[in-house]
Every structure is written in C-alpha cells, then in structure tokens.
C-alpha cells in the first residue's frame, strides 16, 4: 500500500468487544493478568501482552508501529517528548569513554543535551560541520559510537547528505541517528539512505495540531528493543495513552498536511526573497539555497520551515514579530497555523552565542513555520507587518 493508505490503516488495533471503529484510548496504568502464571510469563517475555503502561500500552504500540511502517523500518516507540527520544536514544548508545560526533546546527535543547549533559557522564563530544567530509573523517576516532544530525537542521535548514554520512559510518561500525522532525516520513526516508535510528519531535508535524508534546524513536527491532528495555522503561520517558491517541489522529492526515505546508512555504519563501527589506532567505525550495542539490536528491518536498534575515538586523526582525496579526508569535513548529519566532533569544538560546554563530544562527535570523491556512492570508499578514 502507498503512504497515505498506510498512514490510515497500518497496524490498526481492531477493538473486538464493541467493534469501535477508531482505536479507543486505553487510559489505564496497569493491565490485569488472567492468573499468576500469566503475569510471570509476561514479565519473562515468554508471552506477549501488556503489563503496565510505562512498559507499553496499545495506543503507544499502534503509533510506534505505524510510524515505523511509514519510515520503512521494523519497530517504533512513542516517548513523552522529542527530547525524551533524543536523550533516551543517546544514553542507550553511549557510555563512559565513548565519543559522539554531532552536527554544529541542531535544535537548542538537543545541542545542550549533547554538549553539556553527555560530557558529565564521561562522553567525549565533537560538534562539527557535517557537510565537510574531510573534517568528519579527521574527527572520527576509535571510540566514536554515534553520529547525530538533523537535516534540514533547525533553524537554518542546513542540509546534510544522509547517504554520504551513513556510508562513512557503516565502514567504521558507527551508529547514525537522524532527527527527521522537519521532513517527516512523508518527505524523507533516512533509513532507506542507511541511517540506523530515526527520531522525531512528534510534537511538530506528526501531531500537527499543536496540542501534544511527544517523541518517536524508530529502527530495527533489535535496536528498538534495546532502547525500550531497560532505558525507556527505567528512565520512564514514555508517552501517555491520550497523547498517543492524539498523535494517531494527526498521522492519518500527515501526507495531506505536508503537501499544503510545502506549497504554502514555497510561495512565502519566493515572496520574502523578493522583498526589499529582507536580506537573505533560507528555504530548500529556492534556487539560491546552498544545499538545494542534496535536498533534491534526498527529499521529496522542501517542508514548511523558512528562516530569513532582515536587512536592518535583529531590531527589524523584532518589530516584524511584534507586528504580525494572524500569525502567532510562538516557538514550536509544524502546526496547522503559521508561527513566527526568534531562534537566538528563544529556541536556540541554550547554545552559547559563539557556538550559535558557528552553526549559522545569527542574532538577526527569524524562523517561520508555515501553516496550512490559505496562503493569501499568510502573505497579507506578512506584507502588512513588513510595511510597519
Ligand atoms: C528538530 C527538533 N528535534 C527535537 C526537538 C525536541 O522536541 P520536543 O519539544 O517535543 O521535546 C525539537 C523541538 O523543537 C526540534 O525542533
């Protein structure tokens, strides 16, 4: 079956007692065993079945398996947030004395977790420009266990060649973890390009409606089982039945929404690029975009996120953010409505200024998450705000 059909039908857990059409919310913390022997068998793994919602729940299984299917892999987990997906995956794969190479442009809290938290556990960290192959080869050491990146990256949309990185990593036995939040499985398939594990902030496009915080981890069953037990189980960063149910509702319209996010964003990016008050627009669908060639190779669309710099720098950007009307001044992204925010003082403020600038996140950069409203209304709102 094709993507949109799988987004609606794959791994649907048919409810047998009342014949409910959609999956009910299994809002229960624990599950009853038929007898003590069965409880023992479930704990030992001899028998499949649910035990306790922190260890698994039908709503969580359904979402994890559906996203795994859409990403072209075997198994998935739903976590309490995108950061839980990032931290649980990395803690599973790194121990004292290991080394991780991460991209120099990442979502602020991911960058903070990797550069500030991991070293406290004796893990060595290098953040580098992963578009520079020679630099990557020179940074890899005998103890390098993980290469971690986002592509397109938050917030500059920096594009990293997934196939190139996974080919180098495979030859050296290094795991590649890709954050596919900006693209979703509808627009990019890192696993097909050799990545071992894909994570998402499902808070964004997968949920899609701005009403849930959640994360996803998908990969081969063996890798996912090793993250689930004991890491997710004992760190306790799993999702909840209701949040998973909300995600499932979002997933069914993912393809439709992504098509509209892409077409709206393309029009807005082209409008901004021509505007006399804008100095530079970063959007992979523009001919002027630096990573366009690789984007065209590995992406099936350019997504809904645009970053840009105003000619008059941060003060002009601030005035613009304070002047929009329909568009909300808010962090997060991937919601049905359009959002605007300032990475340097908001989402990427955990990164020191010097490091931010190394990753291309200047003080003047403004980020737009284009929604699925009628594009004329987005353009009108921006036009009026730019006039001010
Ligand atoms: C690319 C990316 N990864 C991970 C996260 C963290 O996700 P969450 O806020 O759901 O914890 C975010 C949040 O903005 C993000 O943009």
**Digit-coded pLDDT (tens) for 89-129:** 999 999 999 999 999 999 999 999 999 999 999 999 999 99
Q: What is the spatial distance between Cα 13 and Cα 22, in angstroms, rounded to a whole number?
A: 9
49: phi > 0 → left, psi -120 to 50 → alpha, else beta; which?
A: left
Strands (E), the chain: 75-79, 99-103, 124-128, 144-150, 175-179, 197-201, 215-219, 278-282, 305-310, 328-329, 339-341, 365-369
Q: CA angle at residue 336 from 288 to 2, to 5 degrees? A: 80
Asked whether 115 and 140 are in contact (CB, 8 A), the reply is no
Cis amide bond preceding 155, omega within 30: yes
DSSP string, 265-290: HHHHHHHHHH-TTEEEEE-TTSTT-T
Asked whether 300 and 186 are in contact (CB, 8 A), the reply is yes
CA of 82 to the centre of ligand 1 (A): 5
Burial of 350 (0-12, 13-18, 19+ CB in 10 A): middle
**Digit-coded pLDDT (tens) for 124-152:** 999 999 999 999 999 999 999 999 999 99
Above 90 in pLDDT, residue 357? no
Above 90 in pLDDT, residue 202? yes
> Looking at ligand 1, which atom is closest to the CA of residue 86?
4
- Residue 243's pLDDT is 98
Average pLDDT rounded to a whole number, residues 225-241: 97
Of 155, 178, 183, 330, the C-alpha closest to 257 is 183
Class of domain 3-251: alpha beta
- Residue 370's pLDDT is 98
Cβ-count burial 219-242 (b if 16+ within 10 Å, e if not) = beeebbeebbeebbbebebbbbbe
- Residue 358's pLDDT is 86
Asked whether 254 and 204 are in contact (CB, 8 A), the reply is no
CA of 119 to the centre of ligand 1 (A): 21
- Residue 174's pLDDT is 98
Global pTM? 0.97
Q: What is the spatial distance between Cα 130 and Cα 60, in angstroms, rounded to a whole number?
A: 33
Q: Please, what is the average pLDDT of the chain?
A: 97
Above 90 in pLDDT, residue 314? no
Asked whether 2 and 65 are in contact (CB, 8 A), the reply is no
- Residue 381's pLDDT is 98
Q: What is the spatial distance between Cα 203 and Cα 144, in angstroms, rounded to a whole number?
A: 30
Q: Return the minimum-mean-pLDDT range out of 61-70, 154-163, 345-354, 379-388.
A: 345-354
Of 88, 90, 109, the C-alpha closest to 331 is 109
> Looking at ligand 1, which atom is closest to the CA of residue 332?
14
**Digit-coded pLDDT (tens) for 156-193:** 999 999 999 999 999 999 999 999 999 999 999 999 99
Pocket test of ligand 1: the residue of 181, 184, 331, 369 to mutate, having most ligand atoms within 8 Å of its CB, is 181
Pocket test of ligand 1: the residue of 109, 178, 182 to mutate, having most ligand atoms within 8 Å of its CB, is 109
The backbone torsions φ and ψ at residue 359, rounded to the nearest 5 degrees and listed phi first, read -85, 5
Q: Give CATH for domain 255-387.
A: 3.90.1150.10
Instruction: Give the residue, by CA position, lying nearest to ligand 1 atom 16.
Output: 107
Q: What is the spatial distance between Cα 302 and Cα 187, in angstroms, rounded to a whole number?
A: 8
Q: What is the DSSP letter of 231?
A: I
Token pair recorded at residue 84: 């839980």
Total count of residues recorded for the chain: 388
Above 90 in pLDDT, residue 13? no
As a whole-number percent, the residues of the chain with pLDDT over 90 amount to 94
- Residue 350's pLDDT is 87
> Looking at ligand 1, which atom is closest to the CA of residue 182?
1
CA of 347 to the centre of ligand 1 (A): 9
Average pLDDT rounded to a whole number, residues 44-61: 97
Domains of the chain: which residue ranges? 3-251, 255-387
How many CB atoms are closer than 10 A to CB 26?
A: 20
Of 332, 38, 321, 374, the C-alpha closest to 213 is 332
């Amino acid at each position: 079956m094709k993507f949109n059909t799988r987004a609606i039908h794959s791994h649907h857990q048919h409810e047998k007692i009342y014949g409910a059409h959609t999956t009910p919310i299994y809002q229960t913390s624990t599950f009853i065993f038929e007898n003590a022997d069965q409880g023992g068998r479930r704990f030992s793994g001899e028998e499949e079945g649910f035990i306790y919602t922190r260890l698994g729940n039908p709503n969580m299984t359904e979402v994890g398996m559906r996203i795994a299917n859409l990403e072209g892999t075997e198994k998935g987990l739903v976590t309490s947030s995108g950061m839980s997906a990032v931290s649980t995956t990395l803690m599973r794969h790194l121990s004292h004395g290991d080394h991780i190479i991460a991209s120099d442009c990442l979502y602020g809290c991911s960058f903070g977790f990797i550069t500030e938290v991991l070293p406290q556990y004796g893990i060595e960290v290098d953040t580098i420009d992963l578009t520079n192959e020679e630099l990557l080869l020179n940074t890899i050491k005998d103890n390098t266990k993980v290469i971690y990146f986002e592509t397109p990256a938050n917030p500059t949309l920096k594009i990293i060649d997934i196939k190139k990185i996974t080919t180098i990593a495979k030859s050296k036995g290094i795991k590649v973890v890709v954050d596919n939040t900006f693209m979703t499985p509808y627009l990019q398939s890192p696993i097909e390009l050799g990545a071992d594990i894909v994570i998402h902030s499902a808070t964004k496009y997968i949920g899609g409606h701005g009403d849930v915080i959640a994360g996803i981890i998908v990969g081969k069953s063996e890798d996912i089982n090793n993250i689930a037990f004991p890491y997710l189980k004992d760190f306790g960063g799993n999702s909840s039945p209701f949040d998973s149910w909300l995600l499932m509702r979002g997933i069914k319209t993912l393809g439709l929404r992504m098509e509209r996010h892409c077409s709206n964003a393309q029009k807005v990016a082209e409008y901004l690029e021509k505007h006399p008050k804008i100095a530079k627009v970063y959007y992979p669908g523009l001919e002027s975009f630096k990573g366009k060639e690789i984007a065209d190779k590995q992406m099936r669309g350019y997504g809904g996120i645009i970053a840009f710099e105003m000619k008059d720098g941060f003060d002009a950007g601030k005035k613009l953010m304070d002047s929009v009307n329909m568009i909300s001044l808010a962090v997060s992204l991937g919601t049905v409505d359009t959002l605007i925010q300032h990475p340097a003082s908001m989402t990427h403020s955990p990164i020191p200024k010097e490091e931010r600038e190394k990753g291309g996140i200047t003080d003047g950069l403004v980020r737009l998450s284009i929604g699925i409203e009628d594009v004329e209304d987005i353009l009108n709102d921006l036009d009026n705000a730019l006039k001010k």
